[in-house]
Amino acid sequence: MKNWAAPPVGGFRWGLGRLLVVAVAAIGAACASGGGGRAVMTPAEIDALLAEYAGNWVLDESASSPQVTIPRPEIRTETRVVRADQLDDLRREAEEGRRLIAIRQATFELLRRRPETLLLGVQEDELVYIPTPGKSITLPLNGERVSQTGGEHRVRSRVFWDGPRLGVEHMVGSDGRVRLVLEIVEGRLEMTRTIRFTGQRVAPIVLVYVREGTLA
């Protein structure tokens, strides 16, 4: 990951020229792989879209979803009679159960992240994502995954496109996934956060951001 100092919003614009080819390729690949038949955006449309996302954003708590609590995991107990030669299998089952509970916790903690401010920008062919509080991350716009540590677990992150919406996906191990989909709605930045984990159903969290200096 590159060391990056936050310049003014206009400082990101110089990198958009190189970004266009990468972004077009990424969107075209998504459509070719069954992206619902959406038309590929033109370079000018991509340029305008990325310019809309770039900048300093401040959370509008009054317009955002309330914070969610982490639901308690369902723990089943059972009584079994096992033979001595089955003890190793029993231990492995217990270890796997503890591993899944730990990944579940880490995935929900990712879902609950609630940056008070967010700095978005483009540097060459990478998305710069700086949340406060939170960890900064720089992600290639071609969808390549970047690994980082998330407590005890490795988190792999990537950029993806959902039509004209920009998204960031975080994978915790191979079992947990949190997606952030960004969309500009009437000049505001809406971040929809969703989780995927075996057997879990949680309503999406929507965080609404306004440009720095415009929140009353």
Domain boundary assignment for the chain: 11-68+110-211
Q: 11-68+110-211 adopts what CATH topology? A: Lipocalin (2.40.128)
3-state DSSP call for residue 202? coil
Higher pLDDT, 165 or 9: 165
- Percentage of residues in the chain having pLDDT higher than 90: 39
What does the pLDDT read at residue 27? 36
Q: What are the pLDDT digits (tens) for 67-87?
A: 988 877 666 666 666 676 666
The label of the residue with tokens 């990424």 reads: 26
Token pair of 189, please?
Answer: 């930045």
pLDDT confidence of residue 39: 58
Looking only at the bridges linking them, the beta strands covering 126-132 and 55-59 are unpaired
CB atoms inside a 10 Å sphere around CB 198: 9
Task: Quickly list DSSP for 94-161.
Answer: HHHHHHHHHHHHHHHHHHT---SEEEEEEETTEEEEEEESS--EEEETT---EEEEETTEEEEEEEEE
Question: Could you report the per-residue pLDDT of 37-65, keeping only the tens digit for each?
Answer: 455 667 777 777 778 899 999 999 999 99
Q: State how far the Cα of 144 lies from the Cα of 148, in Å rounded to an integer.
A: 13
Specify the pLDDT at position 44: 75
Residue 185: which H helix or E strand, with range? strand 176-185
pTM score, whole prediction: 0.73
